[in-house]
Every structure is written in C-alpha cells, then in structure tokens.
C-alpha cells in the first residue's frame, strides 16, 4: 500500500497501533507478527514482563508447559521491546547451551533490524560494528549477550538477566552433577552480573524438584511466580478446574493423551509444573502392584464402594472420589479408584449402576453429607426401582486428612493392594504427589475403605456372589463413560 492510498482513518489507526506497541509488550508482539495468536495466559506473561521493564518486579519465574509460547514472548519479543524503550541498557540471555541462547538472540536481533521496529522506535538501530547473533549492540550502547548456562559473563553487567530452559531433558534434570552446576553458576555468575536495580527472569518447565528453579526457591522466597498447569487442578481466574490452558492450540483431549503417554511423573513436572520429590515420597510407583480387570473378575471377592464427595457441593456437578474395592479370599484389596464430576442425581444413578455390575455388598459415604443431601433422593429411587442397596455412613476417627491417607502406606508397603490396570490413574497421581497434590478426593475415598473392607472371618461362602458373573464384563466405562 502506497502512502497515497492510505486514508486518513487508516493512518490514524496505524499511528494508534504504533503508540500502543511502544507502550505495551502485547501490542508490540501483535504489531511485529500479524498472525500472532494470543491467549489469556500470554497476556498474564506480558503484564509481568512489563512490570519487570518498569522496575516493579526484580525477580520473576515463569513456569509454563512446553510449546505454549513462553520463550517467544520472554526471550525474543521482550528483549527487542525492552531495547526500544531502554536503548542504553543491557541484557544477558542464557539457556542450557549457548546454541539455544544464540538462537533466541538472533531472533530478537532480527526484530530490532526489521522495518516494523523502525516504525515504532525510529531512533533505535543495531550498531554497525556489532551485529552477531549472540553478541550485538544498539546504536545507543545497549548490549545483548547470549551465554550457555555454565559459561562465564566476566566483565559484563545486566540490567535484565534472562535464564530460559536451564536443562534440556530428563537425563540432565535428574543429574546431581548438572543440578549442582546450575545452582553454582546461578549464584556465582547470574546473580552477580546484575546492575543495581537490575532484574532476573527464569523461564522453564519444571523438570524436577531439584531443577534450577526448585533449588533457588529453597533459599529465596522473594520471587514473583507465574505457574500455569496445562490442565487446571483448581478453579482459576480465567478457567475452571479440568480445563486446558490453551484449548485453541492444545485441546483437552490432546493433553489427556499426552498425560497417558508421559506417565504421572513427567506429566506432573513438565505439564503441571508440580515435580514429584522422589526423596520425600510417601507412596512410590514401586508400591503399585497391578492386576487386570479380567484377573480380578475370576477371583472370589466381596465388593465395597467408598465415596468422598466435595462437602456441601454435591447438589451441583463437582469432582468426587470413588473407590471400588474387590477384597479377595487372601484379604488383598483390588482397586478401581478415580475422580469424576457428578451432581447428586448422577451420583445416585451411579449407585445402581455399580451395584448391577459388581454386586456391591456395601456403599460407604461420608457421614452427614449422605443424610443431609443424598438419602432422601436415594430412598425414593430405591422404591421406584424396587431395588435396595446398603449404604453406611462413615466417619473417620482420624480427622486429619493427610494422616488418614498416610494410613494407607503400611498396606501398600506390605503388598496388600493391587491396582486394576486402566482404572487407577487418578489415585496414583494423587498418591505420588502426596501430600502436595492439588486434589486428594480419590486417595481419601480409598482411605475410607479401611472402615468397610475387612471381611469378617468365617464368611468366605459369601464370596460366591460372583460365581455367575456375566461372561462379558460390564464396566462403568462402557455404559456411562465414567472413567478415562
């Protein structure tokens, strides 16, 4: 479009966009890249980085899942925008190796050298004698330096020190040598290069409890932290529990598949930003003995179901914990345990479905909640269906939930519990992250089993209840989609 073809209105709009781009990192990014797709979590990162530029935040950590745009904003667009507003200042940018750091530097340099940038900051250009991808200067003396973690930055100061992806993979993250190298470099190099009033920004996915961010936070508590799980574990400002972080880019279905592919430990670390501390784990994966559903259905068992509903919320759809326990003749627990989002009516329907499928001997549910919320509806439904089930109100003697769940540890350590393959992912995730798990509905429902599941001596004849079990195993998943 030539200047003669630009209408006064279009010219005014262009000038407004330029002014916004000078002031705000988000508008700068959209001005530089016409096809940039912005989500709410990007705006959150933009806001915090703008506060860094203004000097309001001195220490910022950004934990976001892979491929969710954190580096594009923080290590490429932010330095370019920062120099437009502060052409005399300096940035040191680092990553797990110098090649990645230089790659970020090259992209930031190319933005500064673009025609769009000249529209915004016409007085800021690259210095003619310093344009290397990993080492370049502005015409006002501002300096960008890219270094690999572990490398030196002798003689250089930083108004902003950016550390992006301090480890490259799981092997490095778990290496005690790399862990020690990284924290040593941070203390002796990165933190000593800051100019008075300077800021440091750490951008990463959480690989390990002892990764760089984890070690820093053990001794420093003055950091501003953005930590965004791929799937929300609790209700947040911009999304509900169970919703994806960037659904237009990565749908919930894709993330659930990724979770299954990665396993609990890597998923928790890389995508949920909650690494599991193996040294302090109460429950370990080695404790989880497995049986298939088909194996369990061939055993003589008694079936008990315990339910941990969200207090006071059962009338509305909310996550509840379910544990289905097939106790065999040896006294072993064989568990299905999962989390599901149900309202009161759906929960009552599930009672009858489970009873039909597994001949449940007894249902156990938290005392008070059952009587106050569910019992009137369940009584009416039993009369309507002419089918009656046994429900026992449960009350833990141990009021502390963490101690109740920890009470499962001896049974796991003794090998007294089997997990039925394909039906315990939620339980395992909670136990592996105990006591720091965001949710404990399933593990608490499992802890309730100790109130019901001990079969009295001399009643093994009652275990014949499954003698005529149907050949085709009917599962909750088949008919109602209750489990993943």
Q: Strand order of the sheet with strand 417-420? A: 289-291, 417-420, 333-342, 318-328, 301-308, 362-366, 391-394
pLDDT of amino acid 457: 46
pLDDT of amino acid 153: 65
Q: How many residues does the chain have?
A: 484
pLDDT of amino acid 310: 60
144 vs 132: CA distance, rounded Å: 10
Count of alpha carbons within 13 angstroms of residue 391, beta-carbon side: 22
For residue 36, which phi and psi values (nearest 5 degrees)? Answer: -65, 130
Verify that 232 and 366 share a domain, yes or no. no
User: What's the CATH code of the domain at 429?
Assistant: 3.30.420
- Angstrom distances, CA of residue 352 to CA of 347, 371, 387: 9, 18, 8
User: For residue 95, what are the β-bridge partners?
Assistant: 148
Residue that terminates a domain, selected from 278, 300, 334: 278
Residue that terminates a domain, selected from 255, 278, 301: 278
Task: Label residue 129 exposed, middle or buried (CB < 10 Å: 0-12, 13-18, 19+).
Answer: exposed
pTM of the model: 0.70
pLDDT of amino acid 213: 94
- Angstrom distances, CA of residue 395 to CA of 191, 317, 398, 400: 53, 23, 9, 12
Residue that terminates a domain, selected from 221, 246, 278: 278
Q: Strand order of the sheet with strand 126-132? A: 126-132, 135-138, 143-148, 90-95, 158-164, 194-204, 59-63, 224-227
pLDDT of amino acid 369: 67
190 vs 101: CA distance, rounded Å: 14
93 vs 98: CA distance, rounded Å: 10
User: What's the CATH code of the domain at 12?
Assistant: 3.40.50.300
For residue 88, which phi and psi values (nearest 5 degrees)? Answer: -100, -5
Verify that 441 and 335 share a domain, yes or no. yes
Work out whether strand 318-328 and strand 158-164 pair parallel, antiparallel, or are unpaired: unpaired
pLDDT of amino acid 429: 86
Its domain, for residue 73, covers: 3-278
Tens place of pLDDT per residue across the chain (484 aa): 445 577 889 999 999 999 999 999 999 999 988 888 899 999 999 999 999 999 999 999 999 999 999 999 999 999 999 999 999 999 999 999 989 999 999 999 999 999 999 999 999 999 988 889 889 999 999 999 999 997 766 567 899 999 999 999 888 988 999 999 999 999 999 999 999 999 999 999 998 888 999 999 989 989 999 999 999 988 899 999 899 999 999 999 999 999 989 887 788 889 999 887 666 678 988 899 999 999 999 999 999 999 987 644 444 446 789 999 999 999 999 999 998 887 778 888 889 999 999 999 999 987 766 776 778 888 888 899 898 989 888 876 666 788 889 999 999 999 999 999 999 989 998 998 888 777 888 999 999 999 888 653 444 444 444 333 433 344 433 443 443 3
Verify that 225 and 337 share a domain, yes or no. no
Number of helices and strands (H, E) in the chain? 21, 15
Verify that 100 and 226 share a domain, yes or no. yes
First vs last C-alpha separation in the chain: 54
Verify that 74 and 95 share a domain, yes or no. yes
Q: Are 332 and 453 a contacting pair, CB within 8 Å? A: no
Verify that 150 and 260 share a domain, yes or no. yes
pLDDT of amino acid 279: 64
Task: Label residue 70 exposed, middle or buried (CB < 10 Å: 0-12, 13-18, 19+).
Answer: buried
375 vs 246: CA distance, rounded Å: 40
Domains: count for the chain: 2
With H, G, I as helix, E, B as strand and everything else as coil, classify residue 248.
coil
Verify that 193 and 320 share a domain, yes or no. no
Question: Rounded to an integer, what is the distance from CA 436 to the centroid of its chain?
Answer: 13
């Amino acid at each position: 479009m030539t200047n003669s073809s630009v209408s006064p209105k279009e010219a005014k709009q262009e000038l407004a966009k330029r002014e916004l781009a000078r002031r705000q990192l988000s508008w700068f990014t959209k001005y530089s890249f016409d096809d940039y797709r912005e989500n709410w979590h990007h705006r959150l990162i933009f806001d915090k980085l703008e506060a860094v530029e203004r000097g309001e935040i001195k220490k910022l950590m950004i934990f976001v899942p892979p491929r969710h745009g954190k580096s594009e904003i923080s290590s490429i667009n932010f330095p370019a925008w920062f120099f437009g507003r502060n052409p005399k200042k300096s940035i040191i940018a680092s990553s797990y190796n110098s090649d990645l750091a230089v790659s970020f530097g090259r992209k930031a340099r190319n933005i500064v050298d673009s025609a769009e940038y000249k529209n915004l900051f016409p007085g800021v250009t690259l210095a003619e004698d310093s344009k290397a991808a990993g080492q370049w200067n502005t015409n006002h003396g501002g300096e960008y330096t890219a270094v690999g973690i572990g490398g030196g930055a002798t003689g250089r100061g930083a108004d902003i020190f950016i550390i992006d992806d301090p480890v490259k993979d799981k092997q490095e993250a778990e290496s005690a040598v790399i862990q020690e190298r990284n924290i040593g470099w941070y203390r002796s190099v990165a933190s000593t290069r800051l100019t008075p009033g300077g800021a440091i920004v750490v951008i990463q996915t959480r690989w390990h409890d002892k990764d760089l961010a984890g070690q820093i936070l053990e001794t420093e508590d003055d950091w501003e932290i953005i930590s965004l799980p791929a799937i929300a574990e609790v209700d947040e400002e911009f999304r509900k529990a169970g919703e994806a972080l960037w659904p237009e880019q990565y749908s919930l279905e894709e993330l659930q598949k990724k979770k299954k592919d990665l396993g609990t430990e890597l998923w928790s670390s890389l995508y949920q930003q909650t690494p599991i501390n193996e040294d302090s784990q109460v429950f370990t994966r080695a404790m989880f003995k497995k049986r298939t559903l088909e194996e369990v259905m061939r055993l003589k068992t008694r079936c008990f179901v315990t339910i941990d509903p969200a207090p006071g919320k059962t009338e509305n759809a909310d996550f509840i914990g379910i544990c289905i326990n097939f106790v065999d003749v040896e006294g072993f627990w064989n568990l299905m345990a999962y989390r599901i989002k149900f309202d009161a009516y759906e929960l009552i329907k599930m009672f009858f479905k489970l009873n039909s499928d597994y001949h449940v001997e007894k249902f156990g549910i938290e005392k008070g909640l059952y009587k106050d919320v569910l019992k009137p509806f369940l009584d009416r439904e039993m009369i309507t269906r002419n089918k009656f089930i046994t429900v026992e109100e449960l009350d833990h003697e141990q009021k502390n939930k963490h101690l109740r769940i920890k009470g499962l540890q001896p049974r796991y350590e003794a090998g007294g519990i089997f997990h039925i393959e394909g039906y315990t992912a939620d339980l395992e995730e909670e136990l592996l992250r105990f006591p720091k798990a965001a949710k404990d509905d399933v593990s608490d429902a499992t802890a309730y089993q100790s109130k019901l599941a001990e079969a009295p001596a001399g009643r093994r004849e009652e275990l014949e209840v499954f003698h005529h079990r149907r050949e085709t195993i009917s599962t909750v998943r088949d008919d109602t989609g209750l489990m993943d």
